[in-house]
Amino acid sequence: MTQEEDIAAEAAAETHGPTHSGFVALIGPTNAGKSTLVNRLVGAKVSIVSHKVQTTRAIVRGIAIHDNAQIVFMDTPGIFKPRRRLDRAMVTSAWGGAKDADLIMLLIDSERGLRGDAEAILEGLKEVQQPKILVLNKIDRVNREDLLALAAAANEKIAFERTFMISAENGSGCDDVMDYLASTLPEGPWYYPEDQISDLPMRQLAAEITREKLFLRLHQELPYSSHVETEKWEERKDGSVRIEQVIYVERDSQKKIALGKGGETIKAISTAARKELSEILEQPVHLFLFVKVRENWGDDPERFREMGLEFPK
């Protein structure tokens, strides 16, 4: 047993009664609110959120403790019809995460219903053997009759174990989901120490935070052909940390957009990312951002490995 497993076992032993643990794959169409829900259920930010679809690119694991259970949420990329190599890698990652989980949670945007990608996902789930629950999100925006009709239509296609109606944004119904998962996951030791909330390395989480601020600032102007990597991480004697990151884009025109007039845009992105990183790390952060052009980075296997994705042939 590793030292990490020892710590997890000791933490679990301090709880009352048998412990439960397991992996829950959260899948659904793009922009259904998966990352918002994972952050809500974990109680801390482990996955970035933006209004831009397909923000999550690789599987992010958020770890929550509820009663005697350790629930490992796998926030998967939104499933959609892929067009590019990156799209194919993201969709493959999402379905792979579903097949590796103990339980699958399908999240549907109640406003959009089963239109488009949701219908295709339901068809794909018929081939997956794990138990499944249905979670209808954004219920505060839809009347009760439409919600009941949507739940009935989805359950006609898939034999869901349970159906939940929630709002990931305000937390309504989320306690019911956690109660169910804690009582349903298999009995066994915890996988992670009690105080660990994610398996994402801090360097990678820092890059994701900056990518979120990039998307939020340049929602319309900058396409998906951007990627952030943390190149240097230096803990300094004064208790602060110096972080250097590179934003990769594919063309000079995109570099100009990211920099902004007189460097105004990149400065705003850096300020927002530095503020959030300081709060997460609980120490002063000196963040330095550089923008580089790397043509066709979306065809570079090394970039896919940095994102935690398999490079599709």
Backbone angles phi, psi at 164, to 5 degrees: -120, 150
Compute CA 182 distance to the chain's CA centroid, rounded to the nearest angstrom: 21
Task: State the binding site.
Answer: 28-35, 75-79, 137-140
Neighbour order of strands in the sheet with 132-137: 60-66, 69-75, 20-27, 103-109, 132-137, 163-165
Map tokens 């900056």 to a residue: 210
d(CA 88, CA 304): 12
d(CA 170, CA 279): 22
Backbone angles phi, psi at 193, to 5 degrees: -55, 155
* Closest of 240, 242, 243, 241 to residue 230, by C-alpha: 243
Taking each helix axis from N to C end, the angle separating 264-281 and 202-217, rounded to the nearest 10 degrees, works out to 140
Radius of gyration (Cα) for the chain, nearest Å?
A: 20
d(CA 95, CA 127): 11
Structure token digits, residue 135: 């979670």
Which of helix, strand or coil describes residue 99?
helix
Task: State the binding site for GTP.
Answer: 28-35, 75-79, 137-140
How long a stretch of residues is the chain? 313
d(CA 63, CA 20): 13
- Angle formed at CA 276 by CA 254 and CA 74, multiple of 5 degrees: 85
d(CA 19, CA 70): 8
What is the CB neighbour count within 10 angstroms for residue 231? 12
